[in-house]
Structure 1
Amino acid sequence: MTFNYCLIGGGIVGLATARALLERRPGARLVVLEKETWLAPHQTGHNSGVIHSGIYYAPGSLKAELCRDGADATKAFCRAHDIPFKTCGKLIVATDALELERMDALYRRSIENTVEVERIDRERLAAMEPDISGLGALLVRATGIVDYARVCEAMAADIRAAGGEIRLQAEVTGLSEGDGEVTVGVSGQDTLHAHNLVVCSGAQADRLARMAGLAPDFRIVPFRGEYFRLTKRWEGRLRHLIYPVPDPDLPFLGIHLTNMIDGSITVGPNAMLGMAREGYDRFAVNLRDMGDALLFPGFWKLLAANLRPGLEELRNSLFRRRYLAQCRKYCPALELDDLEPIEAGIRAQAVGRDGSLIHDFLFLDTPRAVFVCNAPSPAATSALPIGTHIAQRLLERPGPHAPSCPIEEDRPMNTTTFPVRTRPQAPGRPGLRPIPGREVA
C-alpha cells in the first residue's frame, strides 16, 4: 500500500507532526510506525513532565519562539482533551553572589524573550517556600507540569479519528528513496511505500539517516539522567518547581526539584554518559551503542572539553551524599533517607564532529523526507508548533499535493539547524492518579 505520509517514531514530536499533517490534508493516507509495544516509550515517556516557559534560550531564536508558542499550545490542547495539568510556576534560586550575577543576566534574557518573570528577594522566597534557602530567585509563573505520555495518547486518538494509522511493533529495517516515493522496510510486515517520509527517531536519529543513504556529520550520544523521588513526607510541601541558576560553563542545567502531576516530587537529573541509547538500568550496556560513540572523533573531543564536570557527575552518581549536597544548596532540609531511587531517563544528545553539543533543533532534508536529527529539551513543550513547522516543510515541496520532482543522482541533502492507554508503567516512576477536571488547582 502506498501512503501519502509515513512517520517513523511514536514519541511526541512524531505524533504532533502526524496530527498537523492530517489537519492540513484531511483524508490523506498516513501511517505512524513505532518499534516498541506502546507509544512515547523513550524520551517522551521518561521526561520530567515540565511545560517550559522559554526563559533560557537565545533571544530571537526559533527555539525560544517555539517554546513560548508550545507552552500555550500544550495547555490549550490539555484543556480541549481533559488532560490534567498545573501551572505551578518555577523558582530559579540563587545561593551565592556569583549566582545572583548570573540570575540578573537571566532576568535580562527573560525580558528579551518576552517571558513574564518576577524578581524575588530572600525574605519573600522564604515566605513562599519555607523549605528553600537562597539569596534571591526569579519567579517564572508560566511554567507548568503535565504527563506527556497522556498527551501522546490524546494525539494518537486524534490521528486515528482523522483516518491515520498507527502501527506498534513496527521496527524499520530499510529506507530507500526513489523517483516519486520512499520505500520503507518493516520487520515482520509488508514493505511500505510513501510519497513523503518524516523520521522522528530520537536516540536512533543518526542510524535512520545513514540507513537512508545520508552521511550525517554527528552522532547520538546517550546521557543518563538519574532521578530520585522524595519520600511521602515531602508531598505537598513545595508549591513551585525549584531550579538552580544555570552555570554557563556546564553543558546541562543541573539538579532540580520537580512537582509531578500525581503529587510526588522528583529530584534530578544529573548527566552521566550512558552505555546504551535505550538502556534505563544503571549498568545497561549496548556494545553497538558504545562502539558508535567510541569510533566517532567528536566523542573524544567532547570528553576532553568536559572532563571536570564529567568527573563531578560521576562522583555524584557513585556517592548519594554528594548528590544530596547538590540539592541541599537550596533545600537544606533534605536528608539522605528522603531520596528514593527511580528509573533514569535518557537524553539523546547529538554531538558534532568537533565535539560540540548540538543544543538546537537539527533537520536533514532530502526531496521526499525530513529527518528530525536533534530535538532537545524543550521538545515536549514545543511539540505542537514543531509538528506544524515540519508539516509546512513537507507541504511546501512537491509531493502528493503537487507535481512530483525527480531525485537527482547525487542525493542532495540540506542541513538546517534551528536554535486506548496500553503504556506499561515504568518501574519506579511515579504513576498517574485519575484527576478529574482540567487544570489542577
Structure 2
Amino acid sequence: MHTTDVLIVGGGIVGLGTGLALAGRATVTVIEAEGHLAQHQTGHNSGVIHSGLYYKPGSAKALNCAAGRELMYQFCAENGVPHDRCGKLVVATDESELPALAELERRGAANGLTGIQRLSAAEMREIEPHVNGVAALRVPETGIVNYKAVSEVYARKITDAGGSVHTGTQFLGCRTEQDALTAETNAGPVRAKLLVNCAGLHSDRVARLCGIEPGVRIVPFRGEYYELKPRAERLCRHLIYPVPDARLPFLGVHFTRMIGGGVECGPNAVLAFKREGYRFRDVDLSDLAELAVNPGFWKMARKFWRVGLHEMYRSLSRRAFWHALRKLIPEVSFHDLVPAGAGVRAQAVAPDGKLVDDFFVCQAPRMIHVLNAPSPAATASLAIGRSIADAVLKELV
C-alpha cells in the first residue's frame, strides 16, 4: 500500500499548486485520472494572467488573484516559463456601459491595481488602433502564459522535492480511520493522513465519494473559441475585453493574444451535456440525468434562460459569434475566423440556483475540498496552494 502525508486528488493547476506549496514540508502524492496532467480546465483556458480587476474587494478571488498574479510572474521568470505582461483594454462600446466601466475602475483601485488608467476613445486607439468604443480601462498588470507549461514545472518541482505524481489513477472512494484515511484508486489503495480534493469538474462527486455532502453541484459550461487567421492578427495587439455582465461570472467574448502566437476569440458560455463536453455532440446521459434531478439547476435555468438561449444561438451560429466580436473590432471579417478549441468551466451552483461566484473550499475531518475554483484560479494557483497548504499543515501537527 502506498503511504503519504497528503493525498491530492486532481492534477490540474490548483492541485499541483497545492502540492508544490507542501513539497518539502510533508510527503505529497498527487493522483490524476487522465493519462496526462492539466487536461481539462487548466489546459483549455486562454492563458490569461488576470489582474484582479473584476472581483469584489475583500473576496477570496480578489485577495488570491492579487497575490497569485505577482507570484505567477515571479515563478515564470525564475523558471524560464515564457510569459508576457502585455496589458489589456476593457472597452465600453457605448455610453450605456460607462457606469459599469466606472465600477470596474473602482474595484480595480480597491484591489490594489496601481497602473489602471481611464482612456478616452482617442487614447485607447493609440494602443489598439482598430478597437471600437467610447472609453476604456487600460490594465497593464494583465499578462499571458501557457498554464499547461506552468503545471509541468509545478509537477517537476513536486517530484524533485520527494513527492510523487501519478497519472491514469482514478479516485474511487475512501474510508476514514482514527489517525489516517485509506483512499481506493484503480491503481490500488493509498493511505494518507489528509486528503485534498482538487478534482475540478468532478469535485462534488469526489466529496460525495468521501461521505461529504458538498452543498453545491457542479454544472459544466462549455466555452468555445475561434482564432483569427494570420492576416487579421494585426487587428489585436494586446488583450481586448468587453464590459462584462455583472449578473454572470463570465467575462464575455474577447480577444486574447496567445503566448505561443496567434489571437484567440471567445469564449461564449453554453451548458455542456457532459462534464468533459468539449463539443456540442458530446453527451453523457448520466450527467444529464444528474442535472435533471438537481433543483438548483432548474432554479438557475429559470433565472437565466434568455441568456442561455442567446449563448446557445451564438454557439450554433458563427455569424452570431462574429457579430459579437465586431462590437469590439468592426474590421474583423467573417472569413477571418477559424474554429479553435473549447474549454469546460466547472461552475458550482447552490441549491437556491445561485451561481457560486467566489472560490469555495470546505473542510471535514482529515479532508479539504476545493469545490469552486474557476477563473482566476490558474492565475491564483500559487496563492491558493499556499493557503490550502497552511490549512493542511495545521491539521498535520
Q: Percent identity?
A: 46
Query: Residue by residue, what CA displacement relative to the aligned partner does 1:210-264 show, whole Å, maximum 9, x if unpaired?
Result: 0011112211000000110110112344222000011223442210000000121
Structure 2 unaligned residues grouped into runs of 5+: none
Matched residues in 2 for 1:371 and 1:261: separation?
Answer: 32
Does the Cα contact within 8 Å between 1:198 and 1:369 map onto a contact in 2?
yes
Query: Residue by residue, what CA displacement relative to the aligned partner does 1:115-161 show, whole Å, maximum 9, x if unpaired?
Result: 13101111111222111111110000000000000000001110010
Query: Residue by residue, what CA displacement relative to the aligned partner does 1:47-83 show, whole Å, maximum 9, x if unpaired?
Result: 0100000011111223211101111000100011100
Q: 1:329 to 1:236 in 2, by over 3 A?
A: closer
Deviating 4+ runs (over 3 angstroms): none
Pairing 1:14–2:15 present: yes
Matched residues in 2 for 1:68 and 1:364: separation?
Answer: 22
Identify the range of structure 1 (340-349 vs 100-109) with the bigger mean alpha-carbon deviation.
100-109
Partner of 2:389: 391
Partner of 1:277: 275
Partner of 1:242: 240
Query: Residue by residue, what CA displacement relative to the aligned partner does 1:246-292 show, whole Å, maximum 9, x if unpaired?
Result: 12234422100000001210110000000011121221001111111
- Aligned pairs for 1:77-96 within 5 A: 77-96=75-94
Does the Cα contact within 8 Å between 1:205 and 1:371 map onto a contact in 2?
yes
- Aligned pairs for 1:191-202 within 5 A: 191-202=189-200
Pairing 1:218–2:219 present: no
Does the Cα contact within 8 Å between 2:232 and 2:332 map onto a contact in 1?
no
- TM-score scaled to structure 2, two decimals? 0.97
How many residues are treated as equivalent by the alignment? Answer: 395
Does the Cα contact within 8 Å between 1:34 and 1:167 map onto a contact in 2?
yes
The letter of the residue matching 1:166 is V
Q: Give the CA deviation at 1:179.
A: 1.2
Matched residues in 1 for 2:131 and 2:145: separation?
Answer: 23
Matched residues in 2 for 1:290 and 1:112: separation?
Answer: 41
Does the Cα contact within 8 Å between 1:250 and 1:309 map onto a contact in 2?
no
Does the Cα contact within 8 Å between 1:281 and 1:343 map onto a contact in 2?
no
Query: Residue by residue, what CA displacement relative to the aligned partner does 1:152-175 show, whole Å, maximum 9, x if unpaired?
Result: 000111001001111110011121
Pairing 1:41–2:39 present: yes
Partner of 1:60: 58
Secondary structure of 2:341's counterpart equals coil
Matched residues in 2 for 1:139 and 1:251: separation?
Answer: 21
The letter of the residue matching 1:130 is P
Matched residues in 1 for 2:181 and 2:370: separation?
Answer: 16
Matched residues in 2 for 1:84 and 1:339: separation?
Answer: 26
Secondary structure of 2:250's counterpart equals coil
Partner of 1:113: 111
Partner of 1:292: 290
Matched residues in 2 for 1:215 and 1:340: separation?
Answer: 43
Partner of 1:71: 69
Partner of 1:406: none
Matched residues in 1 for 2:221 and 2:247: separation?
Answer: 18
The letter of the residue matching 2:289 is G
Pairing 1:135–2:109 present: no
Identify the range of structure 1 (169-178 vs 203-212) with the bigger mean alpha-carbon deviation.
169-178
Matched residues in 2 for 1:131 and 1:226: separation?
Answer: 24
Query: Residue by residue, what CA displacement relative to the aligned partner does 1:14-36 show, whole Å, maximum 9, x if unpaired?
Result: 0010111114x1xx332110111
Pairing 1:186–2:185 present: yes
The letter of the residue matching 1:124 is E
Matched residues in 2 for 1:164 and 1:238: separation?
Answer: 42
Secondary structure of 2:380's counterpart equals helix
The letter of the residue matching 1:15 is L
Q: 1:61 to 1:249 in 2, by over 3 A?
A: closer
Does the Cα contact within 8 Å between 1:184 and 1:191 map onto a contact in 2?
yes
Structure 1 unaligned residues grouped into runs of 5+: 403-441
Matched residues in 2 for 1:181 and 1:279: separation?
Answer: 36
Identify the range of structure 1 (343-352 vs 126-135) with the bigger mean alpha-carbon deviation.
126-135
Does the Cα contact within 8 Å between 2:235 and 2:329 map onto a contact in 1?
no
Matched residues in 1 for 2:305 and 2:278: separation?
Answer: 23
Pairing 1:153–2:152 present: yes
The letter of the residue matching 1:3 is T
Secondary structure of 1:306's counterpart equals helix
Query: Residue by residue, what CA displacement relative to the aligned partner does 1:323-375 show, whole Å, maximum 9, x if unpaired?
Result: 11111111000111111111210001000000000011111211211011110
Matched residues in 2 for 1:221 and 1:40: separation?
Answer: 19
Matched residues in 2 for 1:261 and 1:176: separation?
Answer: 44
- TM-score scaled to structure 1, two decimals? 0.88
Q: Give the CA deviation at 1:87.
A: 0.7
Matched residues in 2 for 1:30 and 1:103: separation?
Answer: 44
Matched residues in 1 for 2:245 and 2:96: separation?
Answer: 10
The letter of the residue matching 1:90 is K
Aligned mate of 1:320, from 315, 318, 321 = 318
Matched residues in 1 for 2:123 and 2:275: separation?
Answer: 43
Aligned mate of 1:309, from 307, 313, 317 = 307
Matched residues in 2 for 1:241 and 1:30: separation?
Answer: 37
The letter of the residue matching 2:374 is P
